[in-house]
Amino acid sequence: MNDITIRPATLEDAGPFLRLVEELAVYEKMAPPDAEAKARLIEHLFGPRPFYQLVLAVKGGRPVGYAAYFFTYSTFVGRRTLYLEDLFVLPEARGDGVGHKLLVTIARIALAEGCGRLDLIVLKWNELAHRFYEKHGVKRMEDWALYRLSGDEIASVAAMPDA
């Protein structure tokens, strides 16, 4: 584990980061981001108004994983929440402590930022991720269900009359 470095991403990491995102899409059986989405990912990370933050796991001089996160707010706790959007490790680097180091880094960031919560979502079929997080004491929220509006659905709701 000593040869694994976790560090903030820089603009020079854009290409390797996008390749990791593509690998995550393959793993999650989803379509990878298209060229426009990739451009937004980089702009939203390194542009004048960043929307999220990124740490990379580097092993042997090459990025092998990442954690992307941003902050939300909990009105019940009265503190910020660190939302972990992605934690991904290349298959060949799993079992080497990379995921553990990424999660510990994210927890330390949440603590340093005064967060009252650290939230994340795991796909139901991803038993490997469920075991990983539960091994680290992350609790599954059985009483909460995720709901989502996407694309045209957002526009449809936005177009509804106020009353």
CA 60 – CA 2 distance, rounded (Å): 11
Question: 44-90 pLDDT, tens per residue?
Answer: 999 999 999 999 999 999 999 999 999 999 999 999 999 999 999 99
Indicate the pTM of the whole model: 0.92
Q: Identify the structural domains of the chain with CATH numbers, from first to last.
A: 4-158 (3.40.630.30)
Q: Is the four-CA dihedral 40, 59, 28, 103 of positive or negative sign?
A: negative
Catalytic residue among 27, 66, 133, 147: 133
pLDDT exceeds cutoff 90 at 163: no
pLDDT computed for residue 1 by the predictor: 58
Question: 111-133 pLDDT, tens per residue?
Answer: 999 999 999 999 999 999 999 99
Catalytic residue flag (residue 69): no
| Mean pLDDT of all residues in 100-112 | 97
Q: Which residue has the higher pLDDT, 46 or 163?
A: 46
List Cα–Cα distances, 52 to 8, 85, 86, in angstroms: 12, 9, 11
Confidence at 106, pLDDT banded by 50, 70, 90: very high
pLDDT computed for residue 146 by the predictor: 86
pLDDT computed for residue 2 by the predictor: 72
